[in-house]
Amino acid sequence: MDNEIIGKLKNKDKEAFEIVMDKYKNSIYNYLYSILGDIDLAEELTQETFVRVYFKAKHLKTDNLRSWIYKIATNLARSEFRKQKIRRFMPIHDMKNEKEISVNYDNIDKISIEELLKKIPEKYRTPLVMKELENFTYEEISKILKKPIGTVKSLIFRGKDMLKEIVKGVKNE
Amino acid sequence: MNKFLNEIGKKRKKLSLLKKFDIQVFDKIKRKKLEKKIEFTIVALLIVFISMILILPDKNIKQEPIIAKEKIKKIDVPVLDEIYFGTSDEKNTYSIEFVSLDDEDDGI
């Protein structure tokens, strides 16, 4: 089915594009929300993802449409992280916001996964979300992130470790 | 840990986009198409303009030698009976002095 859709997408077929958008928009939205932790930004980048899907489909070389769309979304999220990193060095009032992010949790069950994930550096968060929440294989993650499989595995392992520590800390609070 | 992630993943609230999302995406695509058209037109116009500058002859450059020619006046100054000292540029000044030759040197 993907091959047929990809062919039509390459020809900028509106119907095919709508089918693809319907199929993936909510999962991309949830994925971006998991790694960004910002609902508005996630929606904005989901829109941008599909705009890029429309214009870049003619250059699509893979059969794995899902991976390709996630790759676009991941690249957009990463450039957003880079922008935020630059911004963080500039205004002083942003440092206050950093402190406000650390929330006091009463009960682990009340915490959303996004809140926990926010505490892990992006480097580990993205592959962890891809593996555990989006169910990508190591090979797919390695292709999307352009990193060797070994590196991906160790990033996920360290990400899980960090998450474990955070959960422990929250339980002790 | 995996169990925890699975459980928390299941509990994870699934967000859904509103219907207006599709409209917004198509609006963005339309806008981007228009931007690309404008960009293409500007680039095409620039190429035409630059190639016109390069291809068309520059009138000022061609006229320059004619004007220069008109300005140059050749002045001939008699030095001896059949020898003339010629200048081709009236901007330069030359002084000519009489030189007396000795009789002994005359036979050279």
For residue A127, what are the domain limits?
A: 104-173
Cβ atoms within 10 Å, residue A154 = 14
Please report, for residues A70, A126, A140, A157, the alpha-carbon distance to residue A152 in angstroms, rounded to integers and kept in the order given: 16, 10, 10, 9
Q: Which of A71, A101, A131 is the last residue of a domain?
A: A101
Q: Is the pLDDT of residue B7 over 90?
A: no
Co-location of A86 and A132 in the same domain = no
| Banded pLDDT at B23 (limits 50, 70, 90) | very high
- What backbone torsions phi and psi does residue B13 show, to the nearest 5 degrees? -70, 125
- Interface residue A112 vs chain B (CB under 8 A): yes
* Separation CA B99–CA B108 (nearest Å): 16
Model pTM?
A: 0.69
Q: Which tens digit of pLDDT belongs to each residue from A48-103?
A: 999 999 999 988 888 889 999 999 999 999 999 888 877 666 544 444 444 333 43
Which positions ≥6 away from B14 have C-beta within 8 Å? A26, A30
Q: What is the CATH number of the domain that holds A46?
A: 1.10.1740.10
Shortest Cα–Cα distance, B67 to chain A (Å): 58
Co-location of A83 and A117 in the same domain = no
Model pLDDT, residue A4: 84
| Contact assessment for residue A39 and residue B14, using Cβ atoms and an 8 Å cutoff | no
Model pLDDT, residue B69: 57
- Interface residue A41 vs chain B (CB under 8 A): no
Q: Is the pLDDT of residue A137 over 70?
A: yes
Q: Which of B60, B76, B93 is the last residue of a domain?
A: B60
Q: Is the pLDDT of residue A169 over 60?
A: yes
Q: Looking at per-residue confidence, does B73 or A28 come out higher?
A: A28
Q: Does residue B8 sit within a domain?
A: no
Long-range contact list for A151-160, CB < 8 A, 24+ apart? A152/A127, A155/A123, A155/A124, A155/A127, A155/A128, A156/A124, A156/A127, A156/A128, A156/A131, A156/A132, A158/A124, A159/A120, A159/A124, A159/A125, A159/A127, A159/A128, A160/A128, A160/B1, A160/B2, A160/B5
- Interface residue A151 vs chain B (CB under 8 A): no
Cross-chain Cβ contact B32/A51 below 8 Å? yes
Co-location of A80 and A122 in the same domain = no
Co-location of A81 and A128 in the same domain = no
Span B23-43, average pLDDT: 95
Q: Which of A101, A119, A147 is the last residue of a domain?
A: A101
Q: Does residue B3 sit within a domain?
A: no
Q: Is the pLDDT of residue B107 over 80?
A: no
- Interface residue B67 vs chain A (CB under 8 A): no
The rounded radius of gyration (Å) of the Cα atoms in chain A is: 18
How many domains, in total, are found in chain A? 2
Model pLDDT, residue A106: 47
Co-location of B74 and B47 in the same domain = no
Q: Looking at per-residue confidence, does B96 or B53 come out higher?
A: B53
For residue B29, what are the domain limits?
A: 13-60
Q: Is the pLDDT of residue A104 over 80?
A: no
Span A143-153, average pLDDT: 94
Q: Is the pLDDT of residue A145 over 70?
A: yes
Give the one of A39, A51, A160 whose C-beta lies nearest to B29's C-beta: A51
ipTM over 0.90: no
How many domains, in total, are found in chain B? 2
Co-location of B18 and B50 in the same domain = yes
Co-location of A169 and A126 in the same domain = yes
Chain A residues whose CB is inside 8 A of the B40 CB are: none
Q: Which tens digit of pLDDT belongs to each residue from A10-61?
A: 888 999 999 999 999 999 999 999 999 889 999 999 999 999 999 999 888 8
Chain B residues whose CB is inside 8 A of the A29 CB are: 15-17
Q: Which of A101, A128, A154 is the last residue of a domain?
A: A101
Q: Does residue B75 sit within a domain?
A: yes
